[in-house]
Chain A
Amino acid sequence: QKEVEQDPGPLSVPEGAIVSLNCTYSNSAFQYFMWYRQYSRKGPELLMYTYSSGNKEDGRFTAQVDKSSKYISLFIRDSQPSDSATYLCAMSAYNQGGKLIFGQGTELSVKP
């Protein structure tokens, strides 16, 4: 069983829709939770960063972490065609040299 499981997708939504992306994990030592966005044939870039449990909002993006359920989510409001990309969840434990464990990635397509 993988340490981090991510809904595989792919996911196709109309412009303006609310998108929900999710990951579950098994390692209770994870404390840092990230969402990376990766455009086609590019490297991943950090989108959202959360420490421990709670919510974080940045514009149209909201990241949620529920450590009791070992479940994290990324919500995208008013989705735009420019949001079309692969979204990767990533996690790390404390004092692990910054080693990240990634989910499989969800490919999102937002249709105009």
Chain B
Amino acid sequence: NAGVTQTPKFRVLKTGQSMTLLCAQDMNHEYMYWYRQDPGMGLRLIHYSVGEGTTAKGEVPDGYNVSRLKKQNFLLGLESAAPSQTSVYFCASRTSGSRAGELFFGEGSRLTVL
């Protein structure tokens, strides 16, 4: 049972380039989330989804887009990367029947924008 898998684990981009981070979960969870983690800032919610075909903005959505075409996948896109988007990105998921704060996290994707 893989849980939550993020790809790629590491990526270096130049300013202005685009890329997509993929999150896949095999737990049949309805809810999925993208967070970014920066030193001294904790985890901040970028976008989230409460089910297939739905997405919503979190605390820091600017510069990112997301899609949830399949229940098991949640994609995070950067259309024109900026150095301020250098961060560690975490995907998480939970089932609707679980406790409200019980999220399962992936191991993170480290992105550097030069």
Contact = CB atoms under 8 A, between A and B. Distances in A.
A, B in one complex: yes
Interface of A: 4, 6, 8, 32-34, 41-46, 49, 51, 88, 90-92, 94, 96-105
Contact of A46 (B4, B58, B90, B103): B103
B42 A97 contact: no
B103 A49 contact: no
Nearest to A96: B100
Interface in B37-55: 40-45, 48, 50
B42 A6 contact: yes
Given A94-B100, A102-B42, 9 more contacts: A44-B90, A44-B103, A49-B101, A51-B99, A98-B100, A99-B58, A100-B101, A104-B41, A105-B42
B105 interface: yes
A5 to B, nearest CB: 10
B42 A42 contact: no
A98 B4 CA distance: 17
Nearest to A105: B42
B58 to A, nearest CB: 7
22 contacts: A4-B42, A8-B40, A32-B99, A33-B101, A43-B90, A43-B105, A43-B107, A43-B108, A45-B105, A46-B101, A46-B102, A46-B103, A49-B99, A49-B101, A94-B100, A97-B31, A97-B56, A98-B94, A99-B33, A102-B43, A102-B44, A103-B42
